[in-house]
């Protein structure tokens, strides 16, 4: 095969169309007119002998052949971009950009004290903007590029165009005031159920992991309040008979901060929480975002140790 007869720029067109699944958005992203994009798409179809992208009610749908080609094209485009950045001597850490991180106050408390100094010293023109993930994967934002990275411990059913990496694994404990009279003889299941509880709810429901575990035994607990924060409930336990089932790191920070608080083992077993960072394939090869994800991973590793 004579590669000189191939238009390698068409690989970038394929790459963007596959990510956007929308001709107008792809044209805007590549600064092309609609006729120019249509011309390039026709050349792509001729080169690969397949329609590749067909019209659908909400944009474009890749054909099976396009899905087959996509991982290889993504790798090639990423390698070419990295090659030309090196050739151009581009200092990607000097880029003036905003990175949008969707997470929770728990993740911010865990990662940002160590992460922000790294960003300020090594990528001084970078601005980090955090958003509350509100209990759901920010799928649309990741696909549109308005979210660069999402971090939480409750994302499931990821689309095939998303990447994920495990950052932390945490277990649960119970946080209580040392003056809680119901715990004078320790925390067993009866004492646990005798108390009222605080819980974190990012979606407004009061059906957490603990509640589902209790329901499996035909039991339930009394919830005094559900709060839209992981940190705020740890500050409301002092001097009360309320209990809070929370992640161990949150409890440890609360106990260090407030001598009135104590940690107790759970009276039943809950699965560990696996905190993951999630990103879309459109940002997978970007050097700045790849570097950012690596810093997040290293900070998480240092916390885990």
DSSP annotation of 272 reads P
Please report, for residues 12, 114, 210, 214, the alpha-carbon distance to residue 217 in angstroms, rounded to integers and kept in the order given. 55, 41, 11, 5
Q: Write down the pLDDT at residue 1.
A: 56
Q: Write down the pLDDT at residue 86.
A: 66
**Which of the two residues, 285 and 17, has the higher pLDDT score?**
17
Residue 22, CA atoms < 13 Å, CB-side half-sphere: 9
Q: What is the mean pLDDT of residues 177-197?
A: 95
Measured distance CA(131)–CA(104) in Å, rounded: 8
Q: What is the mean pLDDT of residues 263-283?
A: 94
**With the C-alpha atoms ordered 139, 159, 212, 186, is the resulting torsion angle positive or negative?**
negative
Q: Using one digit for the tens of pLDDT, what is the confidence trace for 102-150?
A: 999 999 999 999 999 999 999 999 999 999 998 999 999 998 889 999 9
Residue 12, CA atoms < 13 Å, CB-side half-sphere: 12
Show the tokens assigned to 143. 């696909």
Q: Using one digit for the tens of pLDDT, what is the confidence trace for 13-40?
A: 999 999 889 898 888 888 888 889 999 9
Q: Write down the pLDDT at residue 107.
A: 96
Domains in the chain with CATH codes: 3-88 (1.10.10.10), 94-167+274-304 (3.40.190.10), 172-264 (3.40.190.10)
Q: Using one digit for the tens of pLDDT, what is the confidence trace for 34-75?
A: 889 999 999 999 999 999 999 988 889 999 999 999 999 988
Out of 84-98, 147-161, 190-204, 223-237, which region has the weakest mean confidence (pLDDT)?
Answer: 84-98
Report the 10 Å Cβ neighbour count for 76.
16
In this structure, are residues 150 and 102 in contact, taking their beta carbons and an 8 Å threshold?
yes
């Amino acid at each position: 095969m004579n590669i000189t007869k191939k238009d390698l720029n068409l690989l970038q067109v394929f790459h963007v169309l596959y990510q956007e699944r929308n001709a107008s958005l792809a044209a805007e992203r590549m600064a092309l007119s609609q006729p120019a994009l249509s011309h390039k798409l026709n050349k792509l179809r001729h080169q690969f002998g397949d329609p590749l992208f067909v019209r659908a009610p909400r944009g474009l749908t890749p054909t099976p052949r396009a899905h087959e080609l996509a991982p290889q094209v993504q790798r090639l485009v990423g390698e070419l971009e990295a090659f030309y950045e090196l050739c151009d001597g581009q200092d990607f850490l000097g880029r003036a950009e905003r990175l949008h991180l969707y997470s929770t106050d728990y993740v911010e408390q865990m990662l940002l004290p160590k992460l922000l100094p790294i960003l300020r010293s090594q990528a001084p023109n970078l601005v980090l903007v955090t958003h509350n993930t509100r209990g759901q994967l920010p799928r649309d934002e990741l696909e549109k590029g308005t979210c660069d990275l999402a971090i939480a411990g409750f994302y499931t059913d990821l689309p095939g165009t998303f990447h994920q990496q495990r950052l932390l694994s945490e277990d649960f404990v119970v946080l209580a005031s040392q003056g809680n009279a119901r715990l004078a003889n320790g925390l067993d299941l009866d004492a646990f159920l005798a108390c009222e509880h605080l819980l974190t709810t990012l979606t407004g429901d009061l059906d957490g992991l603990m509640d589902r575990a209790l329901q499996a035994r035909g039991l339930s607990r009394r919830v005094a309040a559900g709060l839209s924060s992981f940190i705020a409930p740890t500050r409301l336990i002092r001097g009360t008979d309320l209990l809070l089932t929370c992640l161990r790191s949150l409890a440890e920070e609360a106990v260090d901060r407030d001598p009135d608080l104590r940690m107790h083992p759970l009276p039943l077993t809950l699965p560990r929480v696996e905190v993951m960072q999630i990103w879309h394939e459109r940002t997978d090869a970007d050097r700045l975002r790849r570097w950012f994800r690596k810093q997040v991973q290293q900070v998480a590793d240092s916390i885990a140790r």
